[in-house]
């Protein structure tokens, strides 16, 4: 049997039929930026500040299927302070142990700072100060960590809140002029 028998010639148009398109593949994740950012205890806003970019750009790049340029990936690596390998999807392996340890210590320091700020007893303040000193001794970069925010995330005077990013439609307010 020859190949000519398998190809039907469209007599009315005088050309071969177009090949069938391959079914679209399900997009697989290329990175795990959002997961690493959350484990590091960083907000989208703080990462945007560190990367000198917009919050929308950070959210777009965090999508696991977003195909980043190498320079963008390196900016993420610097902002999150983790090895590049931990940002990429390899298999179903969890984050490396040093990154998990750093994220845990960061959360502990934020909690200790929050306790120190809200403590009314001098004994608790001394205890929190001692814990801060010990954590900084283990991991010096924790020295400049701030406490957990007690009422949402503070923003700079020139930044707008989420309501500016997602304005409410006029229909939300209804017509109360009657």
Backbone angles phi, psi at 62, to 5 degrees: -75, -20
Q: What pLDDT was estimated at residue 92?
A: 59
Closest CA to 142 of 134, 150, 152: 134
Q: Give residue 96's pLDDT.
A: 74
CA distance 149 to 152: 6
pLDDT tens track for 86-126: 888 765 556 677 888 888 899 999 999 999 988 999 999 99
Query: pLDDT averaged over consecutive 10-residue blocks of the chain (178 residues)?
Result: 46 50 65 90 92 94 91 92 83 70 90 91 94 93 83 67 72 65
DSSP three-state, residue 169: coil
Rounded to whole angstroms, how far apart are CA atoms 37 and 33? 6
Residue 48: the pLDDT is: 93
The overall pTM is greater than 0.85: no
pLDDT at 102: 87
Number of helices (H), then strands (E), belonging to the chain: the values are 7, 0
- pLDDT for 69 equals 92
């Amino acid at each position: 049997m020859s190949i000519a028998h398998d190809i039907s010639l469209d007599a009315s148009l005088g050309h071969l039929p177009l090949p069938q398109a391959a079914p679209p593949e399900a997009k697989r994740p290329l990175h795990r930026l959002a997961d690493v950012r959350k484990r590091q205890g960083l907000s989208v806003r703080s990462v945007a500040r560190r990367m000198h970019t917009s919050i929308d750009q950070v959210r777009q790049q965090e999508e696991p299927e977003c195909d980043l340029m190498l320079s963008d990936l390196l900016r993420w690596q610097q902002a999150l302070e983790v090895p590049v390998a931990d940002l990429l999807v390899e298999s179903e392996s969890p984050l490396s142990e040093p990154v998990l340890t750093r994220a845990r210590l960061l959360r502990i320091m934020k909690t200790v700072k929050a306790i120190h700020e809200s403590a009314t007893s001098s004994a608790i303040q001394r205890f929190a100060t001692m814990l801060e000193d010990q954590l900084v001794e283990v991991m010096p970069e924790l020295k400049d960590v701030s406490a957990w925010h007690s009422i949402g995330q503070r923003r700079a005077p020139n930044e707008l809140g989420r309501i500016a990013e997602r304005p409410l439609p006029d229909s939300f307010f209804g017509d109360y002029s009657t």
